[in-house]
Structures are given as structure tokens and as C-alpha cells.
């Protein structure tokens, strides 16, 4: 869970808490693997399956519950999938991309019709292991796309800040006596633009400096993990 009981703050703080836990597990997995002289991927696979087991069996223990379990399988599958992409373990061509686009459409239609799964966790599996990987492959390009890289960079900050900024917007609107209604296309576009702008600032002024510091401090560990 997060740090507060209030929904606007609990959602992003829950995300931060699980993300921090995943980073800790990734660090120790890499650290142990380095000292044993083996690839850390084996540990990542184990933690990913621990997350799946937590969800399947409804385990509820400190640090081992459904709220952290869904983070474990997504986080460590993402690491493994990214390493496969980086090493070029499977060839991505136009046919593969076209197949992924068709697959995305089929998955979305099936999910919309309610035929994909019976439970939330099963739907989450479809998103994590099927839909999102196909989306990554479909958008993959050997050419540098700065706009796509920027969107990927600020995605974390958009998620973290969108709810607090929504609360701030409502507070300011009420103080000024303005409408807090956001269910119009124009208001949603304006608010989305504002959130993305704030996320861009947060990414460049907060996240990137912290990332640079961590890379300098743990450069050896990062290079080992990239093998």
C-alpha cells in the first residue's frame, strides 16, 4: 500500500514504494550474481515467478502481497525483455511489427468484449506478458526517435504527479470560483498538457540528476548487469 489513506496520494506513493522494493531486489540479485560469477537473469526469473505465485495464491505477508507481487512480475519481466531486445535475440522486421499491430487490435477487442479473462489478475497477465511487449515491438525502430524517447522518459513522472496535480487544480479552481468539471475534450487536453509539462520539468530537474548520481556510484554493477 502507499503512505496515506487518501486515494490521490496513496496511488503514487504505492507505486514508489513497490518500485523501491523492486530496485532493492534487483540490486541484491545483481550483487549476489556478480559474486557467484553467474548471470543475474536467473535471479530475475526467480523473483518474477515469486510475484506470479503471490498473485495466484493470494499471499499476504509484509513485502510479499498482491500489491508488491504485481510489481515484481512486471518489473523483472521488463528487465529480461529489455535485455533480449538489446541483445537482438529475436529479429524484428516489418512482418513481425505488422503481426504485433494486428495482435494488439485483437487483444484490445477481446478485452473490450470481456472475453479475455475472468479475474483482474488474469487481465493483468495479458497486459504484462502479451499486450505491452507487442506494443514495444511495434514501436521499435533502429532510428533514434527523440519524441518517443521523451515520452518514455516522462511516463513515470506523469503517473506520479497526475493525481496530486488534479487535486491542486480542484483546490485552485474552487478558490477562484471556477468550474472543476474536467469531462470535456478541451479541458482534458489542457490538463494533460499541463501534467506532461510538469512531468518534463520533473524528469529533467529531479529524475535525471538522481539517475546520473546512481550511475556514477554503481557504474560497475550496471555494466555487469548489461552483460
What pLDDT digit, counting tens, does each position of 65-123 carry?
A: 888 888 899 999 999 998 988 887 778 888 899 999 999 998 888 877 765 455 565 67
Residues 52 and 75 in one domain: yes
Residues 118 and 146 in one domain: no
CA neighbours closer than 13 Å in the CB half-sphere of residue 223: 5
From 139, 158, 177, the end of a domain falls on: 139
Residues 165 and 212 in one domain: yes
Residues 32 and 103 in one domain: no
Residue written as grid cell 553467474: 38
From 90, 105, 124, the end of a domain falls on: 90
Residues 48 and 81 in one domain: yes
2 pLDDT exceeds 50? no
CA nearest neighbour of 75 among 95, 52, 57, 96 = 52
Asked if 83 and 41 touch (Cβ cutoff 8 Å), the reply is yes
Residue written as grid cell 532493492: 24
- pLDDT confidence bin for 152, thresholds 50/70/90: confident
Residues 135 and 146 in one domain: no
Please report how the helices 66-87 and 41-57 are oriented relative to each other, as an axis angle in degrees rounded to 10. Answer: 150
166 pLDDT exceeds 70? yes
| C-alpha–C-alpha distance, residues 128 and 89, integer Å | 20
pLDDT digits (tens, 9 = 90+) for 186-214: 778 888 888 999 999 988 888 888 878 87
- pLDDT confidence bin for 63, thresholds 50/70/90: confident
Number of domains in the chain: 3
- pTM of the model as a whole: 0.72
List the domain range (segments joined by +) for residue 217: 142-227
pLDDT digits (tens, 9 = 90+) for 3-51: 445 555 666 777 788 888 998 999 999 989 988 989 999 999 999 999 9
Residues 106 and 77 in one domain: no
From 111, 139, 167, the end of a domain falls on: 139
Residues 153 and 181 in one domain: yes
Amino acid at each position: 500500500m502507499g503512505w496515506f489513506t487518501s486515494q490521490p496520494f496513496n496511488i503514487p506513493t504505492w507505486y514508489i514504494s513497490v518500485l523501491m522494493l523492486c530496485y532493492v531486489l534487483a540490486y541484491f540479485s545483481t550483487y549476489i550474481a556478480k559474486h557467484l560469477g553467474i548471470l543475474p537473469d536467473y535471479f530475475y526469473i526467480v523473483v518474477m515467478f515469486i510475484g506470479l505465485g503471490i498473485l495466484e495464491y493470494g499471499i499476504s505477508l509484509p513485502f510479499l502481497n498482491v500489491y508488491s507481487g504485481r510489481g515484481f512480475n512486471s518489473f523483472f519481466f521488463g528487465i529480461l525483455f529489455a535485455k533480449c531486445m538489446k541483445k537482438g535475440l529475436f529479429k524484428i522486421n516489418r512482418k513481425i511489427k505488422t503481426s504485433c499491430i494486428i495482435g494488439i487490435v485483437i487483444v484490445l477487442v477481446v478485452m473490450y468484449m470481456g472475453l479475455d479473462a475472468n479475474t483482474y489478475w488474469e487481465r493483468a497477465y495479458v497486459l504484462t506478458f502479451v499486450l505491452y511487449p507487442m506494443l514495444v515491438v511495434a514501436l521499435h525502430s533502429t532510428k533514434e526517435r527523440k519524441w518517443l524517447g521523451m515520452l518514455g522518459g516522462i511516463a513515470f513522472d506523469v503517473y506520479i504527479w497526475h493525481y496530486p496535480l488534479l487535486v491542486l487544480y480542484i483546490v485552485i479552481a474552487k478558490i477562484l470560483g471556477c468550474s472543476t468539471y474536467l469531462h470535456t475534450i478541451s479541458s482534458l487536453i489542457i490538463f494533460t498538457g499541463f501534467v506532461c509539462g510538469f512531468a518534463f520539468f520533473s524528469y529533467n530537474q529531479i529524475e535525471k540528476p538522481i539517475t546520473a548520481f546512481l550511475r556514477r556510484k554503481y557504474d560497475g554493477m550496471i555494466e555487469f548487469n548489461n552483460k
